[in-house]
Amino acid sequence: MRDTPSCILVMGVSGSGKSHIGKLLAKTLGMRYIDADDHHGPENIAKMARGEPLDDDDRREWLITLADLYSHHQREAKSLVISCSALKRDYRDRLRQAAPQLKILYLHGSRELLLKRLGNRRAHFFAGEHMLNSQLATLEPPDETEAFRCDIRLTPREIVAAFSRHLASC
């Protein structure tokens, strides 16, 4: 795996720890990190801040941008970790079109734990139980053939270590 640039997606619903795990994973593997939330347009951010869930139309340009980031890094022979909700298989398929060897880490946990984590957040545009419920309803969880699954009850270091071992075995 280390011979060629790699592309990694850290996915899950809001509150699963995607950003924290993505940063730690990128640092551990010596890769660049991008938070997909930083690439939402102002309309999407405003919509989420009002408590309105995004739909497929809202996500279209955002997913194109993320796919372009993967493509760019592959052309430049650079490795990249992106944290992104990637709730639907179709979204992940679009990202895989740009990065065919994409490795996916799926962070999952109970609704109760996710709500607790969201309640501890400060200054984030994603707010509320309604928004989490919407993401959980939209989520098409990847199976073990599509992604490496990790329970968010593990510590961030345990998650990164488990995924790193998985990558080494690929």
- pTM of the predicted model, to two decimals? 0.90
> Is the CA virtual torsion 164, 79, 17, 23 positive or negative?
positive
Q: Is residue 35 part of a domain?
A: yes
pLDDT band at residue 122 using 50, 70 and 90 as cut-offs: low
What are the tens digits of pLDDT across the range 134-156?
Answer: 899 999 999 999 999 999 999 99
Q: Which domain holds residue 51?
A: 7-169
Number of domains the chain is built from:
1
Q: How far is Cα 44 from Cα 46, in angstroms, rounded to an integer?
A: 5
What's residue 49's pLDDT? 78
What's residue 131's pLDDT? 80
Judging by DSSP bridges, how do beta strands 80-83 and 7-11 pair with one another? parallel
Average pLDDT, the chain: 90
Q: Is residue 128 part of a domain?
A: yes
Does the pLDDT value for residue 120 go beyond 90? no
Q: How far is Cα 125 from Cα 50, in angstroms, rounded to an integer?
A: 9
State whether residue 164 is helix, strand or coil. Answer: helix
CATH of residue 142's domain is: 3.40.50.300
Does the pLDDT value for residue 4 go beyond 60? no
Q: How far is Cα 25 from Cα 47, in angstroms, rounded to an integer?
A: 30
List beta partners, residue 74. none
Q: Is residue 2 part of a domain?
A: no
H/E stretch holding 90 reads helix 89-98
What are the tens digits of pLDDT across the range 81-112?
Answer: 999 999 999 999 999 999 999 999 999 999 99
Total H helices, total E strands in the chain = 7, 5
Q: Is residue 1 part of a domain?
A: no
pLDDT band at residue 51 using 50, 70 and 90 as cut-offs: confident
